[in-house]
């Protein structure tokens, strides 16, 4: 039997690198297209690598030539223009086109929980999810009226060992180790969803190898419900420190650290619970395996293995000092 021919746009990022490793384990014929600039997660043996900037359409078309694929997965579509270019490029040349979208397109606060694929989607008030939603709309139209074989896959919050999955990143651990508290938004009890990239990759590979999902949208998220405090507790435990936390409202944090305001205020402050029945129906063997306690240990091992990875954001550190000092913690 011919091996499945798969093209990834992207391939060395958080999600895509894990997917590269997982897809190779399924013995697919895998090609990735990147600019060749990101080297933190190098490509393993057995992957064909093409180099082009996907936003440079002539260059992308030149490296792709007249090749056809069974599946194209776009990990780097962020604007309607990005995906319109793909509809033009890959129409008639792929049996399935998978757009990696985000759970942040679901309305916040969720009108009802748990979130299922038919839950309300709306402009959530900041650029990233709004643009992803517009991408989904372009692709849904292309599926309905142009026979473009779209699958929309929504990830929630995905991390690997190189990512501390909060907005402050390593500054969190550095502050604890310096005996200082960390600021967590709200009262720390809103529910969040963290999925290890290896688990995301297992879900995506299962979907594609099983040949499922054209015309569908599906989210691939964790079954684990975590509060933001619990996320910080796991990180602290893995770092071998007491989790000193001070709670401040999303508004107060946003006033001091402007770039955090929209993400906290429009997204992280709201509880999310996802229903994963659909991905499990499409991929019966899918079940997330990495609890965040384990993910946190892998993160700390990676950061502690090389001090050059431990970058403190001086602005966030100073802003946390201010937020902590404004009132008693």
Ligand X SMILES: NC(=O)c1ccc[n+]([C@@H]2O[C@H](COP(=O)([O-])OP(=O)(O)OC[C@H]3O[C@@H](n4cnc5c(N)ncnc54)[C@H](OP(=O)(O)O)[C@@H]3O)[C@@H](O)[C@H]2O)c1
Give the interface with ligand X as residue ranges (CB under 6 A).
Answer: 10-16, 33-38, 53-55, 75-76, 100, 102, 155, 157-158
Rounded to 10 degrees, the C-alpha dihedral 110/99/290/169 comes to -80
Residue 82 CB, nearest approach to ligand X (Å):
9
Residue 197 CB, nearest approach to ligand X (Å):
8
Nearest residue (CB) to ligand X, 12 versus 250: 12
Nearest residue (CB) to ligand X, 34 versus 190: 34
Q: Shortest Cβ contact with ligand X: which residue? A: 13
Nearest residue (CB) to ligand X, 105 versus 246: 105
Residue 172 CB, nearest approach to ligand X (Å):
17
Judged by phi (left if over 0) then psi (alpha if -120 to 50, else beta), residue 61 lies in alpha
Residue 30 CB, nearest approach to ligand X (Å):
13
- Residues 186-190: contacts with CB within 8 Å, 24+ apart? 186/228, 186/247, 186/249, 186/250, 186/269, 187/247, 188/227, 188/228, 188/229, 188/232, 188/245, 188/247, 189/227, 189/228, 189/229, 190/227, 190/228, 190/268, 190/269, 190/270, 190/271
CA distance 62 to 46: 22
**The pair of three-digit structure tokens given for residue 33, joined into one six-digit string:** 């297209």
Residue 294 CB, nearest approach to ligand X (Å):
18
CA distance 63 to 271: 44
Name residue, tokens 């709200």.
186
Nearest residue (CB) to ligand X, 12 versus 124: 12
Residue 202 CB, nearest approach to ligand X (Å):
15
Nearest residue (CB) to ligand X, 16 versus 31: 16
**The pair of three-digit structure tokens given for residue 294, joined into one six-digit string:** 């384990």
Nearest residue (CB) to ligand X, 102 versus 234: 102
CB atoms within 10 A of CB 87: 17
Nearest residue (CB) to ligand X, 41 versus 247: 41
Nearest residue (CB) to ligand X, 26 versus 255: 26
Nearest residue (CB) to ligand X, 23 versus 75: 75
Q: What separation, in Å, do the N-terminal and C-terminal C-alpha atoms of the chain show?
A: 63
**The pair of three-digit structure tokens given for residue 99, joined into one six-digit string:** 């757009």
Q: Are 224 and 291 in contact, with CB atoms under 8 Å apart? A: yes
Strand (E) positions, 164-319? 182-185, 191-192, 194-196, 217-220, 226-227, 245-248
User: Pairing between strand 150-155 and 94-102?
Assistant: parallel
Residue 127 CB, nearest approach to ligand X (Å):
12
Residue 194 CB, nearest approach to ligand X (Å):
9
Residue 102 CB, nearest approach to ligand X (Å):
4
């Amino acid at each position: 039997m011919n091996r499945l021919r798969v093209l990834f746009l992207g391939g060395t990022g958080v999600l895509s690198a894990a997917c590269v490793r997982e897809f190779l384990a399924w013995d697919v014929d895998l090609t990735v297209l990147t600019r060749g600039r990101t080297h933190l997660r190098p490509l393993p043996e057995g992957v064909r690598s093409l180099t082009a900037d996907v936003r440079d359409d002539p260059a992308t078309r030149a490296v792709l030539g007249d090749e056809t694929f069974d599946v194209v997965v776009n990990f780097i579509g962020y604007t309607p223009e990005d995906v319109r270019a793909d509809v033009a490029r890959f129409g008639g040349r792929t049996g399935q086109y998978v757009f990696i979208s985000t759970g942040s397109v679901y309305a916040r606060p969720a009108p009802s929980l748990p979130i299922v694929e038919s839950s309300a989607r709306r402009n959530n008030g900041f650029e990233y999810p709004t643009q992803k939603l517009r991408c989904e709309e372009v692709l849904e139209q292309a599926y309905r009226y142009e026979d473009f074989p779209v699958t929309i896959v929504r990830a929630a919050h995905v991390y690997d060992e190189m990512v501390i999955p909060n907005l402050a990143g390593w500054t969190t651990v550095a502050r604890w180790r310096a005996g200082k508290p960390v600021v967590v938004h709200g009262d720390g009890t809103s529910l969040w969803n963290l999925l290890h990239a290896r688990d995301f990759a297992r879900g995506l590979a299962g979907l594609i190898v099983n040949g499922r999902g054209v015309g569908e949208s599906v989210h691939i998220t964790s079954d684990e419900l975590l509060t933001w405090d619990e996320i910080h507790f796991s990180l602290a435990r893995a770092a071998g420190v007491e989790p000193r936390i001070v709670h401040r409202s999303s508004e107060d944090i946003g006033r001091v650290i402007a770039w955090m305001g929209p993400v906290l205020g429009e997204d992280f402050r709201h509880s999310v619970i996802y229903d994963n029945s659909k991905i499990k129906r499409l991929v019966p063997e899918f079940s997330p395996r990495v609890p965040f306690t384990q993910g946190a240990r892998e993160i700390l091992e990676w950061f502690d293995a090389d001090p050059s990875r431990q970058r403190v954001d001086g602005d966030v550190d100073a802003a946390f000092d201010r937020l902590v000092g404004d009132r008693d913690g």
